[in-house]
Amino acid sequence: MAMEIILAKPKSEKDPRQEYVLLLLETALNYQQTQPPISIRYSDTMHSRERLKALLKEGRAVDIQATATRPDWEEDLLTVRIPIFKGLLGYRLLLIHKDHQQKFSAINNIEQLKSMTAVLGTQWSITPVWKGYGFNTITNVDYESLFKIIHFNRADYFPRGANEILQEYNKFHPDFPNLEIEKDLAIYLPLPMYFFVTPHKPTLAKRLEDNMERMIADGEYDRFFFQNYGRKVNQLRINQRRTFFLKNPNLPEKTPLNRKELWYSTN
């Protein structure tokens, strides 16, 4: 009989970000066929990011969550320090109102972008970094409302990871037809998304980390990533965008920046 673990429920029924996460988690946990199988189900309830961390720390209701790293999460939970999207989350592209492409095309320095208004999630890892750099920013705790804010022209742009923007656009554009993916710009800052495991299940964390390392050594991790994201990366023209590079001052010291095989690169 398969062991069952609980993954945090997505923030919205329209949230497409978990599809790759769930597939990767299933693949990695069961990569070694000699190990007892593990099945995954979503938690029954959606929780805020801070509530999720508390539940994981206590070993209640949730066993594992995938999220962008933060120092407090790495301190309190078991961290599998392998970027889930090869760091693609750190390439931020912009969702904008469809009538505003021309003013974004005219941007040639970061100060021009800072003068515009971004919208971000209240508890997201990128939000304090964005504010710390002096970007004009408003926040909202509700995931779906962030897209609505751009649709109704209440903010100028919504920075999204290159791993998520196409799926989100396809999901939300039918309801919010004023949404458009900005064509010329990208902002990069290191922002890995990791699997965080409850400290009450160290064996689970070790199995996941060991199997992901085996996938990397076998070349399977790269194959898995490019099978799912190679076409999207090309479609978004990441290598051809005018890119502003930022440091992430909140990045924990143990971030494996020296392991080039873990990161997507435009070079």
Q: What is the DSSP string of 65-84?
A: EEEE--HHHHHHSEEE-S-T
Each residue's pLDDT tens digit, 78-125: 999 999 999 999 999 999 999 999 999 999 999 999 999 999 999 888
* pLDDT confidence of residue 125: 86
Listed as ranges, residues in the chain with pLDDT below 50 are none
Taking the model in full, what pTM does it have? 0.87
3-87+192-236 and 88-188 share one fold:
yes
88-188 has which CATH code? Answer: 3.40.190.10
Topology of the domain covering 3-87+192-236: D-Maltodextrin-Binding Protein; domain 2 (3.40.190)
SS3 155: coil
* pLDDT confidence of residue 49: 86
Enumerate the domain spans of the chain. Answer: 3-87+192-236, 88-188
Contact at 8 Å (CB) between 92 and 124? no
Contact at 8 Å (CB) between 141 and 122? yes
DSSP label of 17: T
Contact at 8 Å (CB) between 40 and 22? yes
* pLDDT confidence of residue 14: 60
Residues in the chain: 267
Q: How far is 91 from 82, CA to CA, in rounded Å?
A: 17
Location of structure tokens 């469809």: 98
Q: H/E element holding 208?
A: helix 202-218
* pLDDT confidence of residue 10: 82
* pLDDT confidence of residue 252: 92
